Chain A
Amino acid sequence: MTDATLPPETAQPAAKTPMQPKSLYAIDDLTRKRNAAEKRFQAYGITAIGIGLFFLVVLAYAIISQGIPAFSRTVVEVEFTLTQAQYEEAEGTLFKTRAYEEIFIGALTGQLQDSGIETPVEPEAIERIVGKPGGTIREFFRENEDRLGEPVQFDLAASSRVDGYMSGRITRESMTDSRFLMKSDLDLVDNLVEAQVIKTVFNWPFITGADAGVDNAAAAGIGASVVGSFFMMLVVLFLSLPIGVAASIYLEEFAPQNRFTDLIEVNISNLAAVPSIVFGILGLAVFIQFMHLPQSAPLVGGLVLTLMTLPTIIISTRASLKAVPPSIRDAALGVGASKMQATFHHVLPLAMPGILTGTIIGLAQALGETAPLLLIGMVGFVARGYPEGFIEGFTEPNSAMPAQIYTWAARSDLAFTEKAWGGIVVLLIFLLSMNILAIILRRRFERRW
């Protein structure tokens, strides 16, 4: 009776196949499919990483190969002694710098002859190679009269065309004769190189110097804008870290859960996604046009970047506060700590590595940001010198690294493009060292068990 009521589908297989032991050596279809899917997924992952690495290598190669020339510069190194009599004679002539230039050319020809090279040295060619050296030499001796009568070595910057020829940017085939450089000058340059008068040295002025005018690419340096960026980062750090951390602690540990805090939360997430140029417009409208803060000043740049960095810091700080196990809060409250004591004595120290990482990533982002600086007048500003003091560092117009790179890249002279690449290398070194700092701080704080 009961057998008959059973549906035939369930009754039959049980009857047909008595329990046969399955061999573990035979891989069934389902397992095979699963394994294949797993292999496929791994292959996708490896491909993705491979593509990423490939582009990273291409990018690094492009930046470094194009940026390296900016770190070397060509100098014309001439050593000679100016006697008191020569000095007085030169000062007595009508064209004083011309007289010094003749002394310079004389010394240069002497050095060529010492190396056994006989070649005519035209003053015009020299002027095309090192500019007008007379002025520099005269200025030096007028300021240092005590150096008269002893050998003095002059490292004069070669013109940017010669620089380009030395770095391979300009070749004999590609160049055309112009008032800046003639093809025939290159023979003299080659001879000077052979006589070790023209040398390639590390370009310290690029690291330490300030920007130069559009006609003097060889003298342009990134130093002043590094200082500008530094003051901007000071503003960002000292505003966004306390404000961001305080806001996150309040929202995460103290604020009640209601519509209002929900609204704030949504808005913070939205702010993180707002394009940076919008912050630039805000900075222009509020800080410059309304509050009349100085244009192009690192203070204004820092304020704008603070607004931009705050959401990043708040989001990462809240995430790391959330990651602290609630049992720690319970433990502190359980021994009679107040909420603030529990937060500051126990939760915050544990969240510190995450907060620091978030802050440094936010700072790094701000360091490389160009768009907001465009609108507050940092791009296009030629930072010709360092700020005079600490306060002036904030208030005096200055450039910042990304703005400086943008300015250089926009100039027509190819020598500036080279500077822009070099600037990118400097910027990347900064970012890299900030990230390394983040990792070190993280490790350090995490080691507190």
Chain B
Amino acid sequence: MNEMPSIEQANAMSDSKISANKVQVYYGDTHAIKDVDIEIQPRSVTSFIGPSGCGKSTFLRTINRMNDTIDICRVEGSIKIDGEDIYDPKVDPVQLRAKVGMVFQKPNPFPKSIYDNIAYGPRIHGLARNKAELDDIVSSSLQKAGLWEEVKNRLDEPGTGMSGGQQQRLCIARAIAVSPEVILMDEPCSALDPIATAKVEELIDELRENFTIVIVTHSMQQAARVSQRTAFFHLGILVEEGPTEDIFTNPKDKRTQDYITGRFG
């Protein structure tokens, strides 16, 4: 009862969707993420860039607690979504992941039909009361992912039989289907050809209207194309964060400048 005002208060204090404060991640004895503070704006695209092994994917996975599945991984500090600490003992990670969806590097549709791929999430969360509602969710998710026209006549065919780009958009549709508020994307285009990449980027840009999107990418051009804000990670440290334009045209840190001009990484 008395928690409600505090959430509103928190929302009033900052308008960011996700706010991370002094986040540390350890893999066993390795200190993989050091002192990361970041505010992520709602209904926008934030991209994480940086050389391989800089911890951007690791940090992304702390936002929906996917790192919990790794035994030796330990997270310290606080990450708040809408003012609520997601590492609070009261928070169930399963419930969190319904709110914070994820799209992975390699398209990983379930070895089931296209329909079942989308319907799985709504089914386990009880989002549809009957078949008609479920059908609605499936079709609207596929429409939002721009896949409806291509697959509407073959919903019962296996999702694994589609092309790579279609599979990745299917995975995005699957993430949308449970109506999350945040979608995390871990290098969603790294396994796709340029045409499929362009389609997915277009989709990300459209999804920005309804979702808060965080995307990890290796391609600086992609970050520049799709994101409003960019964060540069290096050796587990968040070096610089700001509006995408500023990061690419006027970086404040020497390391950022070296990276975006291709001197390392």
Interface residue ranges, A against B (CB under 8 Å): 256-257, 325, 327-339, 341, 345-346, 350, 448-449
The distance in angstroms between the C-alpha atoms of A346 and B111, with both chains bound, is: 8
Cβ A335 vs Cβ B158 within 8 A: no
Between A and B, 19 residue pairs with Cβ closer than 8 Å are A327-B104, A327-B108, A328-B108, A333-B66, A334-B97, A334-B102, A334-B103, A334-B104, A335-B97, A335-B174, A335-B175, A335-B177, A336-B95, A336-B97, A336-B124, A338-B94, A345-B120, A449-B158, A449-B160
Cβ B71 vs Cβ A331 within 8 A: no
Cβ A333 vs Cβ B97 within 8 A: yes
The distance in angstroms between the C-alpha atoms of A54 and B174, with both chains bound, is: 56
Query: Chain A residues near B121 (CB, 8 Å)?
Result: 335-337
Q: How far does the Cβ of A331 sit from chain B's closest Cβ, in whole Å?
A: 4
Query: Chain A residues near B158 (CB, 8 Å)?
Result: 449
B109-125 interface bits toward A, Cβ cutoff 8 Å, 1 = contact, 0 = none: 11100000000110011
Q: A334-B64, A336-B95 are in contact. List 15 more A-B contacts (CB 8 A).
A: A325-B108, A327-B106, A328-B108, A332-B120, A333-B66, A334-B66, A334-B175, A335-B174, A336-B121, A336-B124, A336-B178, A337-B124, A338-B94, A341-B124, A449-B111
Interface residue ranges, B against A (CB under 8 Å): 64, 66, 69, 71, 94-95, 97-98, 101-104, 106, 108-111, 120-121, 124-125, 158, 160-161, 171, 174-175, 177-178
Majority SS of interface residues in chain A? helix
Q: How far does the Cβ of A134 sit from chain B's closest Cβ, in whole Å?
A: 71
Query: Chain B residues near A330 (CB, 8 Å)?
Result: 66, 102, 104, 108
Across the two chains, which residue of chain A brings its CB closest to B171?
A331
Cβ A331 vs Cβ B110 within 8 A: yes
A335-B98 contact given A257-B71, A330-B108, CB 8 Å threshold:
yes
Q: Which 6 A-B pairs have the closest CB atoms?
A: A336-B98, A335-B121, A327-B108, A334-B102, A336-B97, A331-B108
Cβ A331 vs Cβ B104 within 8 A: yes
Cβ B111 vs Cβ A350 within 8 A: yes
Give the most central of A256, A335, A449: most B CB within 10 Å: A335
The distance in angstroms between the C-alpha atoms of A188 and B254, with both chains bound, is: 113
The distance in angstroms between the C-alpha atoms of A338 and B97, with both chains bound, is: 10
Query: Chain A residues near B160 (CB, 8 Å)?
Result: 449
Query: Chain B residues near A329 (CB, 8 Å)?
Result: 69
Across the two chains, which residue of chain B brings its CB closest to A325?
B108
Query: Chain B residues near A338 (CB, 8 Å)?
Result: 94
Q: How far does the Cβ of B183 sit from chain A's closest Cβ, in whole Å?
A: 10
The distance in angstroms between the C-alpha atoms of A433 and B93, with both chains bound, is: 47
Across the two chains, which residue of chain A brings its CB closest to B98?
A336
The distance in angstroms between the C-alpha atoms of A336 and B106, with both chains bound, is: 18
The distance in angstroms between the C-alpha atoms of A328 and B71, with both chains bound, is: 18
Query: Chain B residues near A256 (CB, 8 Å)?
Result: 71
Query: Chain B residues near A345 (CB, 8 Å)?
Result: 120, 124
Q: How far does the Cβ of B5 sit from chain A's closest Cβ, in whole Å?
A: 28
Cβ A336 vs Cβ B125 within 8 A: yes
Across the two chains, which residue of chain A brings its CB closest to B95?
A336
Give the most central of B94, B98, B175: most A CB within 10 Å: B94
Across the two chains, which residue of chain A brings its CB closest to B161?
A449
Cβ A334 vs Cβ B124 within 8 A: no
Q: How far does the Cβ of A321 sit from chain B's closest Cβ, in whole Å?
A: 15
The distance in angstroms between the C-alpha atoms of A339 and B92, with both chains bound, is: 12
Across the two chains, which residue of chain A brings its CB closest to B68?
A333
The distance in angstroms between the C-alpha atoms of A345 and B123, with both chains bound, is: 12
Q: How far does the Cβ of A197 sit from chain B's closest Cβ, in whole Å?
A: 66
Cβ B104 vs Cβ A335 within 8 A: no
Across the two chains, which residue of chain B brings its CB closest to A331?
B108
The distance in angstroms between the C-alpha atoms of A367 and B108, with both chains bound, is: 41
Q: How far does the Cβ of A338 sit from chain B's closest Cβ, in whole Å?
A: 5
The distance in angstroms between the C-alpha atoms of A341 and B126, with both chains bound, is: 14
Q: How far does the Cβ of A82 sit from chain B's closest Cβ, in whole Å?
A: 71
Query: Chain B residues near A332 (CB, 8 Å)?
Result: 110, 120
Q: How far does the Cβ of B140 sit from chain A's closest Cβ, in whole Å?
A: 16
Partner of B109, one of A331, A337, A339, A341: A331
Q: How far does the Cβ of A339 sit from chain B's closest Cβ, in whole Å?
A: 8
Query: Chain A residues near B94 (CB, 8 Å)?
Result: 336-338
Query: Chain A residues near B120 (CB, 8 Å)?
Result: 332, 335, 337, 345
The distance in angstroms between the C-alpha atoms of A265 and B175, with both chains bound, is: 37
The distance in angstroms between the C-alpha atoms of A256 and B68, with both chains bound, is: 12
The distance in angstroms between the C-alpha atoms of A412 and B41, with both chains bound, is: 90
The distance in angstroms between the C-alpha atoms of A333 and B71, with both chains bound, is: 16
Query: Chain A residues near B108 (CB, 8 Å)?
Result: 325, 327-328, 330-331
The distance in angstroms between the C-alpha atoms of A330 and B95, with both chains bound, is: 15
Across the two chains, which residue of chain A brings its CB closest to B117?
A331
Q: How far does the Cβ of A264 sit from chain B's closest Cβ, in whole Å?
A: 16
